[in-house]
Amino acid sequence: MEILFPITLFTYVVATVSYLAYFWSQKKEVRTVARSILLTAGLFHTATIVARYFQVGHTPITNMHESVSFFGWAMTWGFLSFRWRYQVKNFGTFVSVVITILMVISALSSQAIIPLPPALRSHWLPVHASIALMANAFLAMGFCGGVMYLLQEREIKARRFGIFYERLPSLEALDNLNHHCLAIGFILLTLGIITGSIWAKQAWGTYWQWDPKETWSLVTWFIYAALLHFRFTMGWRRRRAAIMSIIGFSAALFTLWGVTYLLGGIHSYAG
C-alpha cells in the first residue's frame, strides 16, 4: 500500500503537465485529457488516504505529511465539485499547480507513523482537523482566483495583451469565483474554529487560551470576515478582493505551518 502515495503524486504531476499544455495550446481535447487525469489522481488520492487510515488506525491528519496531503485532496475534490457549477477557463491549470506543490511538500515530509499523542485521541480529531483543512482548500482556490484576477487585470490595465488576456476568463467571472470560494472557505474556517474551541474545552478545560495557532487562525478569520463584510458594505470587490484573498491565504498558510515551526505552542502537531 506504500506505493499508492507515489502513484498519486505521479498522476498529479501528469495532470498538471497536461493542464499546462492546455494552457499553452488552448486545445479543448488537451483539457479533456487533463481533467480525466486529475479525476484519476483524485481517486488514487482517496485510496491513499483510506489505506493510510487503516495503516495508522486513526484519521490520517496528525502530522505534516498527512495533513498537507489531506489539504491537497480536499482541494482536488473541491475543484472537481466546483467545476460542474462554474465555467472558469484555465482555473484547473492554476489549481493543479498548487495541488502538485502541496503533494510535493507532503512527499518531502516524514511519513513515519508516530503513536497518537493523548490529547488527540478524540472524536473531534477528524471533525476539527478535516474541516480546518477543507477551509484551507477553498481559501487556496480563492487564492488561485485572486492571482488569476490580478494577472488578467494587469494586462487589461496596461492595455498591452500578453499570454493571459486570451487564456483567462473575464474579470467578472474571476471575481465571482473568488467570492464563492472565499464564502465557502470562510464558513468552513468558522466551523473549524468553533469545533476546535469545543475540543479545547474538552482536552484542556478552556475554550480559548490564546495559543499562537488559535491567535493566528483568529487573525485569518478576521481578514476574511473583513473582506466579506466590506464587499457588501463598501464595495471591496475585484482588485481589492483579489489582493485580500492572497493576503488572507498567506495568513492561513502561516497558521498551518509558520506557527508550528516559528512560534511553537501546544497546538503544534502538524509537523
Partner 1 sequence: MQVDNLMIIGVNHKVAPVEVREKLAYTGDCEHPVLALQKISSCKESCFLGTCNRVEVYFAAEDQEEGARAVRQFLFSRSKLSDQEAQKYSYLHVGEAAVNHLFRVASSLDSMIVGEPQILGQLKSAYRDASEHKSLGMVLNKFIAKSFSVAKRIRTETNIGSSAVSISFAAVQLAKKIFGNLDGKKVMLVGAGEMAELAAEHLVAQGIREVVVANRTLARAVKLAKRFEGTAVSLEELTSELESVDILISSTGATDLVLYKKDVKPIMRQRMNSPLFLIDIAVPRDLDPELNDVDNVYLYDIDNLTNVVEVNKAERSKEADKAERIVLEETIKFMQWFEGMEVTPTIVEMRRKVDEIRKAELEKTMAGLRDLGPKQRRSVEAMATAIVNKMLHNPILFLKTESEDIDKQLKLELIRKVFGLDQE
Beta-carbon count within 10 A of 82 CB: 19
Query: Burial code of 130-154, b = ≥16 C-beta within 10 A, e = fewer?
Result: bbbbbbbbbbbbbbbbbbbbbbbbe
Instruction: Report how far residue 63's alpha carbon sits from residue 69's, in angstroms, rounded to the nearest whole number.
Output: 10
Instruction: Report how far residue 81's alpha carbon sits from residue 87's, in angstroms, rounded to the nearest whole number.
Output: 12
Q: Using the rule CB under 8 A, is 64 a contact of partner 1?
A: no
CB of 227 to partner 1, least distance (A): 13
**Is the Cα torsion angle 58, 61, 64, 68 positive or negative in sign?**
positive
Q: Using the rule CB under 8 A, is 201 a contact of partner 1?
A: no
- List the helix and strand counts (H, then E) for the chain: 9, 0
Q: Where are the alpha helices (DSSP H) in 207-237?
A: 212-233
Q: Using the rule CB under 8 A, is 234 a contact of partner 1?
A: yes
Cell of 51: 489505506
Q: List Cβ<8 Å contacts ≥24 apart for 229-233.
A: 231/179
CB of 58 or CB of 89, closer to partner 1: 89
Stretch that binds partner 1, among 53-61, 110-118, 196-204, 228-236 (CB under 8 A): 228-236
CB of 156 to partner 1, least distance (A): 6
CB of 44 or CB of 149, closer to partner 1: 149
CB of 28 or CB of 160, closer to partner 1: 160
Options 107, 238, 266, 268; binder of partner 1; rule CB under 8 A:
238
Judged by CB under 8 A, the chain residues 85 through 114 that form the site for partner 1 are none
CB of 222 to partner 1, least distance (A): 21
Three-class SS of residue 122?
coil
Binding mask 134-173 for partner 1 (x = CB under 8 A): ------------------x---xx-xxx---x---xxxxx
CB of 180 or CB of 238, closer to partner 1: 238
CB of 85 to partner 1, least distance (A): 15
Q: Using the rule CB under 8 A, is 10 a contact of partner 1?
A: no
Stretch that binds partner 1, among 2-10, 137-145, 213-221, 237-245 (CB under 8 A): 237-245
Q: Using the rule CB under 8 A, is 239 a contact of partner 1?
A: yes
Binding mask 240-259 for partner 1 (x = CB under 8 A): x-------------------
Instruction: Report how far residue 231's alpha carbon sits from residue 240's, in angstroms, rounded to the nearest whole number.
Output: 9
Cell of 11: 498522476
Instruction: Report how far residue 120's alpha carbon sits from residue 115's, in angstroms, rounded to the nearest whole number.
Output: 10
Q: Which uninterrupted H or E stretch holds 48?
A: helix 28-56
CB of 92 to partner 1, least distance (A): 19
Interface residues with partner 1 (CB under 8 A) are: 152, 156-157, 159-161, 165, 169-173, 176, 234-240
